[in-house]
């Protein structure tokens, strides 16, 4: 099937009504982006959890997808008139080349070498080094494929610090990659916690792919028992809010590993844990930071 992409730039006041009108006119989907993205006037619309939204984009770019068999120009014109926009509004209509979308998506994910002995390998690839510890991950609807700097920082730390026999808690486990890595590196047991049911489903699938036994629970369930290593690769604001819980979940003398933190956020996140942990040197990659520490005896 062939498709046409329709692109329009409108003021913020028209975004919702025009999106609805385009869908009523036969659009398969409509997405919205900052029309000034990539310029000095780009505007971050949403903050992290715990921060308020920062308003609307003054100019928004609407991208609508239509079936090519539709009379697209007429339908778009009708949508513009329905919301009292000038039918002469600048509209770009371009074909979307048909392709094997599954293969195109898979091509974005290649094996990632974390260290001399640790690789992350998508399920459709043959491991480049069969003798290495290979984390076989199916990138689904959950974060954690080994391509993001925060995931690589956490994996490298686990590779260097898991000595065998530890218990691990991964809070915000996503694809389950960090807990699975810990188990394959020698940890005794690992538990993953996430708020997203689809992430938990993907993580269980990945654990089976790697032939490890890992427990996954929903965040609203009873808190898991404390662990020797607590990992949380999420975002700065949730890490600050979760500091009391993650501190309690870390065993006496245990280690904590925090990421999803930008360079400029590192101090405030570290300060939320400093009283309970002896923090080690920060580790950096591409503007992201890894914070680690050992829990102090009380």
Q: Does 68 share its domain with 187?
A: no
pLDDT tens column, 76-118: 999 999 999 987 677 899 988 765 555 555 556 788 899 999 9
Mean pLDDT of the 270-295 span: 96
CA 98 to chain centre: 27
Report d(CA 273, CA 223) in Å as an integer. 19
What one-character-per-residue DSSP string does 221-256 give? SPPPPPEEEEEEES-HHHHHHTHHHHHHHEEEEEEE
Boundaries of domain holding 36 = 3-98
| Res 140: pLDDT | 65
Instruction: Give the three-state DSSP class for 183.
Output: helix
Boundary-marking domain end, from 80, 98, 116: 98
| Res 169: pLDDT | 97
CATH number of residue 123's parent domain: 3.40.50.150
Q: Which percentage of the chain shows pLDDT scores above 90?
A: 66
Q: Which of 53, 48, 54 is nearest to 240 (CA)?
A: 48
Mean pLDDT of the 54-80 span: 86
Q: Does 20 share its domain with 64?
A: yes
Mean pLDDT of the 215-226 span: 86
CATH number of residue 88's parent domain: 3.30.70.120
Report d(CA 134, CA 1) in Å as an integer. 38
Q: Does 206 share its domain with 74?
A: no
Q: Does 163 share its domain with 82?
A: no
Boundary-marking domain end, from 46, 74, 98: 98
Q: Does 84 share its domain with 149?
A: no
Q: Does 188 share its domain with 262?
A: yes
The DSSP output letter for 48 is -
- Report how far apart, in Å, the C-alpha atoms of 271 and of each of 205, 239, 294, 295 are: 36, 11, 14, 14
Q: Does 41 share its domain with 133?
A: no
| Res 52: pLDDT | 55
Q: Does 127 share its domain with 274?
A: yes
Task: Count the domains in the chain.
Answer: 2
Angular region, 287: left φ>0, alpha ψ -120 to 50, beta rest: left
pLDDT tens column, 154-207: 999 999 999 999 999 999 999 999 999 999 999 999 999 999 998 999 999 999
Q: Does 255 share its domain with 173?
A: yes
* DSSP-assigned beta bridge partners for residue 8: 62, 91
Q: Does 52 share its domain with 110?
A: no
Instruction: Give the three-state DSSP class for 166.
Output: coil
Q: Does 278 share its domain with 138?
A: yes
Question: If you search the block for the tokens 């101090």, which residue do you land on?
Answer: 267
Report d(CA 243, CA 258) in Å as an integer. 10
Boundary-marking domain end, from 98, 132, 162: 98
45 within 8 A of 34, measured Cβ to Cβ: yes
Q: Does 31 share its domain with 154?
A: no
């Amino acid at each position: 099937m062939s498709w046409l992409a329709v692109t329009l730039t409108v003021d913020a006041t028209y975004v919702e009504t025009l999106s609805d009108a385009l869908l009523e006119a036969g659009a398969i989907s409509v997405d919205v982006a900052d029309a000034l993205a990539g310029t000095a006037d780009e505007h971050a619309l949403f903050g992290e959890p715990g921060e308020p939204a920062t308003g609307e984009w003054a100019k928004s770019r609407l991208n609508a997808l239509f079936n090519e068999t539709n009379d697209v120009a007429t339908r778009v014109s009708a949508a513009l008139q329905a919301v009292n926009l000038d039918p002469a509004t600048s509209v770009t209509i371009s074909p979307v080349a048909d392709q094997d979308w599954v293969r195109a998506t898979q091509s974005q994910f290649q094996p990632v070498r974390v260290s001399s002995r640790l690789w992350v390998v998508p399920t459709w690839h043959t491991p480049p080094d069969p003798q290495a510890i290979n984390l076989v991950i199916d990138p689904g609807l959950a974060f954690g494929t080994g391509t993001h700097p925060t995931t690589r920082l956490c994996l490298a730390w686990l590779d260097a610090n898991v000595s065998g026999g530890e218990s691990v808690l991964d809070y915000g486990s996503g694809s389950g990659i960090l807990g699975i890595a810990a188990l394959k590196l020698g940890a005794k047991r690992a538990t993953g916690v996430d708020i997203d049911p689809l992430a938990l489903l993907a993580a269980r699938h990945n654990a089976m792919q790697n032939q490890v036994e890992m427990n996954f629970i929903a965040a609203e369930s009873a808190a898991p028992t404390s662990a020797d290593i607590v990992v949380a690769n999420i975002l700065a604001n949730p890490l600050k809010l979760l500091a009391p819980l993650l501190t309690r979940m870390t065993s006496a003398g245990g280690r904590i590993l925090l990421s999803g933190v930008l360079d400029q956020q590192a101090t405030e996140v570290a300060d939320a844990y400093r009283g309970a942990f002896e923090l080690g040197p920060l580790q950096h990659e591409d503007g992201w930071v890894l914070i680690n520490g050992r829990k102090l005896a009380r």
